[in-house]
Amino acid sequence: MKDSNLIYLNGLNKNQYEAVINLDGPYLVSAGAGSGKTKVLTTRVIHIIKEKRAWPNQILCVTFTNKAAKEMKDRVSILLSKQTAGLSWFGTFHSICVKILRKHAKAINLNSNFTIIDQNDQLKLIKNICKAENIDIKKISTRYILSVIDKWKNSGLTPKNTIPNKKEILETGILKVYKIYQQKLLDLNACDFGDLIMHCVNIFEQNKDILDLYSGNFKYILVDEYQDTNFIQSKWLDLLAKKSRNICCVGDDDQSIYSWRGAEIKNFLNFDKVYPEAKIFKLEENYRSSQNILSAASKLISNNSNRVGKNLWTSGKKGELVKVSGYKNVKEEAITISDIIEKKLKKKFSFNNISILVRAIFQTREFEERFLKLGIGYRIIGGIKFYERAEIKDCVAYLRLIFQKKDDLAFERIINTPKRSVGDTTLKQISEFSRKNNFCFENAAKKLIELNLIKPKTKKGLLEILNLLDKWRSDSLKMNHRKLMQIVLDESGYSLMLKNKKDLENENKLENIKELLNAMREFDNLEGFLEHVALATSIDQNWQGEKINLMTIHASKGLEFDAVFLPGWEEGLFPHQKSIDEKGNSGLEEERRLAYVGITRAKKIAYISFSMNRFYQGNWIDSIASRFINELPNENTEQINTFENNSDDFEFNQDIKYEEGIRSPGWLRLQKRLK
């Protein structure tokens, strides 16, 4: 029975209450989506202080974001007022480690005023090292080198105890860079973000007195989103909890979706092995979604074997069944979804509370095109609109310059992309010569070469691209614009540039370019496509008011919406083939957790769909529905047949036309709204 004097405990359900009042020893709180984990953490802090188990400055509360730390601190402040002054150890892993390092920097041969360098400085430093060591950064990018070094630091590996993976042939060379990189940081009295935790762990392991100081001070340790911790973060926590053993970790193993950034789900699953006396609490009552959505998500995730296990439920309504649909192709999928939003959901929900969640960012293109045609506002969360992405703008700039020689802005964008030794100085020289002689940039560059006014190294790269431009213009007369784009990507070295840089960012860029080639199929010629891009990037500029949310499922974690669409549930795309190829069953289980996260973002309505045909890498490929669809329970889902009554609807199905002043109904509607 709850103590009536402890008002702050009111409103907790039974399991939340138990997770708050049990203070002694290690605890793992397995908190399902929407089950009130933040409420549990903050109430637990209040209870510790109210029960006089510890002073505020003896409580360590660790989060992954500053926003989460501030939210918790603010919640505690409301109920504790003046006592919050002592909550000095609320923060992210990195911010807390900085505080410790400032006090004990000498232990790792740094001064207390050390600098924390950002990613740009890291890349610059690695680039300088590669140059000095004659490492070709065209074959191995600085970003890839940095990603490997970050991986080692997340695993607690210093240059001395790092053993390169024999299967990764580049790692031996990267280890050499790592050794020099760490020494350079020491020389500069600096560290990067990866160092902050690793240095702290090294200090604790090598200086028992310092470890005793902090582990003795922190009577209670609380950790948010524990499923997202990596090896070094978990080790740091274990060292600090060694004395008191009063550590409470809150998270959801079913939402562990960040292994690609170092998160290790085994920290969560093996908690009771590290702390044999640990007690586990499960928060299963959900305050976000309807029961049908929760049951569908729970049934799906139950197919994972590596999990603590829980079943989400709600005291609220059963709600609508989860809708599952199949479409002939991705265009039809985008058309129908936009039709549902426009004709059905618009009356029920604000656009701000409707979201389309995709597995890969290139999937947003079809929806963006559709919304532009219909005059529906949209936003990309955690990303950039398709035609505004750097790699897409690069490709379009190449095509613009081929189509229109006088397009100096396009010339400026692509002339040194990829690198051709044409720097800012040369570009300034071309610009000034162009202005004085009334030449376009391309003709100005040719004339400067003719007059022998360009440096030899620059001249070689400049001549190469100028000759290619002439060739491509000739090619454009003999082939369609899609084929031309493929030739440009190959012969310019742009594709090779992205393929050589082994990181997730460049893989996404390649996927986006493939989607661009897909988009070009819908236009008869280069002129029509370029006109479409120009209008697509300008129509939406001034859109005001409510907007539909488009984002990846990864970016949606922690968010919620009234209605959620989950398109592209096809084998190979979701679960993603690369994830399975690289990680086997663990990769498949992480993909399933990602599906679980996607479904549980929905409060009232969830739509899942797949396409039977997808245009990929220049070919139509037959797709089959994702295995995840087969794992959804029949009693909580409704299959919608989209192949009957499939008559064309003028407003929603016609292609947009720009020539001779003709516009789609959606475009006309948008103009009226903007006036």
**Would the CA dihedral through 305, 307, 308, 309 be positive or negative?**
negative
**Which residues, other chains included, contact 603 with Cβ-Cβ below 8 Å and sequence gap of 6+?**
288, 289, 290, 293, 560, 561, 562
Report the distance separating Cα 374 and Cα 543, nearest Å: 13
CA 359 to chain centroid, in Å, comes to 10
For residue 44, what are the CA distances in angstroms to 248, 284, 561, 627? 9, 18, 28, 40
Percentage of the residues of the chain whose pLDDT score is greater than 90: 74
Residues tagged active-site: 37-38, 224-225, 255, 601
Q: Looking at the predicted structure, is the pLDDT value of residue 2 above 50?
A: no
User: For 259-307, what is each residue's pLDDT tens digit?
Assistant: 988 899 999 999 999 999 999 999 999 999 999 999 999 999 999 999 9
Structure tokens that stand for 337 in this block: 């979804």
User: For 174-189, what is each residue's pLDDT tens digit?
Assistant: 999 999 999 999 999 9
659 in Cβ contact with 669 (< 8 Å): no
293 in Cβ contact with 599 (< 8 Å): yes
Report the distance separating Cα 314 and Cα 296, nearest Å: 13
Percentage of the residues of the chain whose pLDDT score is greater than 70: 91
pLDDT classification of 634: cutoffs 50, 70, 90 = very high
pLDDT classification of 644: cutoffs 50, 70, 90 = low
pLDDT classification of 74: cutoffs 50, 70, 90 = confident
Report the distance separating Cα 464 and Cα 650, nearest Å: 48
Report the distance separating Cα 140 and Cα 159, nearest Å: 20
**Which residues, other chains included, contact 556 with Cβ-Cβ below 8 Å and sequence gap of 6+?**
355, 357, 381, 597, 598, 601
Q: What is the pLDDT of residue 534?
A: 85
pLDDT classification of 77: cutoffs 50, 70, 90 = confident
Helices (H) and strands (E) in the chain, counts: 29, 17
pLDDT classification of 100: cutoffs 50, 70, 90 = very high
Kindly state the DSSP code that residue 269 receives in the 8-state scheme: H
CA 477 to chain centroid, in Å, comes to 41
SS3 content of the chain, % helix, strand, coil (to 5): 55, 15, 30
Closest CA to 114 of 125, 93, 126, 100: 100
Q: What is the pLDDT of residue 78?
A: 80
pLDDT classification of 657: cutoffs 50, 70, 90 = very low
pLDDT classification of 488: cutoffs 50, 70, 90 = very high
Q: Looking at the predicted structure, is the pLDDT value of residue 214 above 50?
A: yes
Question: What does the pLDDT average to over 507-526?
Answer: 91
176 in Cβ contact with 101 (< 8 Å): no
Backbone angles phi, psi at 638, to 5 degrees: -130, 120
pLDDT, greater one: 194 or 540: 194
User: For 561-583, what is each residue's pLDDT tens digit?
Assistant: 999 999 999 999 999 999 999 99
Peptide bond into 567 cis (omega under 30): no
Concatenating the DSSP letter of every residue in 370-394 gives HHHHHT--EEETTS--GGGSHHHHH
CA 413 to chain centroid, in Å, comes to 26
Q: What is the pLDDT of residue 536?
A: 78
Backbone angles phi, psi at 415, to 5 degrees: -60, -30
Q: What is the pLDDT of residue 542?
A: 53
Q: Looking at the predicted structure, is the pLDDT value of residue 3 above 60?
A: no
Structure tokens that stand for 37 in this block: 């984990």
Q: Looking at the predicted structure, is the pLDDT value of residue 497 above 80?
A: yes
Report the distance separating Cα 552 and Cα 364, nearest Å: 9
